[in-house]
Structure 1
């Protein structure tokens, strides 16, 4: 259950960040809608993170997974939705972040 809550927290944070990007685009309309998505998304994300931590998952693991998947998903979806640049170096950076989280997990289980 904790991992499902963490997945929801990540989804809410990514949605809020993408809405923040949409809000910054002068060609997009419905500013109030985007502002609402940003605020609700971030509040939901942090509330869900709190629930995950209260359920007993270690803070280092939770934050590492949340940040790594959030960064990767935001970069890829930014490319898809907004045509943001995603260079080979950026992809390498995402891979390094994910490997770092995996190493963190391996280091805590040994």
Structure 2
């Protein structure tokens, strides 16, 4: 998610770093005219790997916020974007070199 994986403050446009608690939580937040939002990644060890789960939270205040929510959430666009993001994370993880022991 970060442009520099060694620096958690290099988050994508539209977000700011909320928390980075290694090794299990990375949270971003943001806001614009129609919404306030938070994106949280939870990491947990599994047999031979790491499971990444994403949680999204948002508030859509006012009439314009309701319209924006209908467009973003109601259309299914949010689901598509989050799934694409998780797929990209998985691809990056699978292509990364593994540490030598």
TM-score above 0.5: no
Report which structure shows greater RCO (CA 8 Å, sep ≥6): 1
- More helix per residue: 1 or 2? 1
- More strand per residue: 1 or 2? 2
Place the TM-score, normalised by the shorter chain, in its bin.
Answer: 0.3 to 0.5
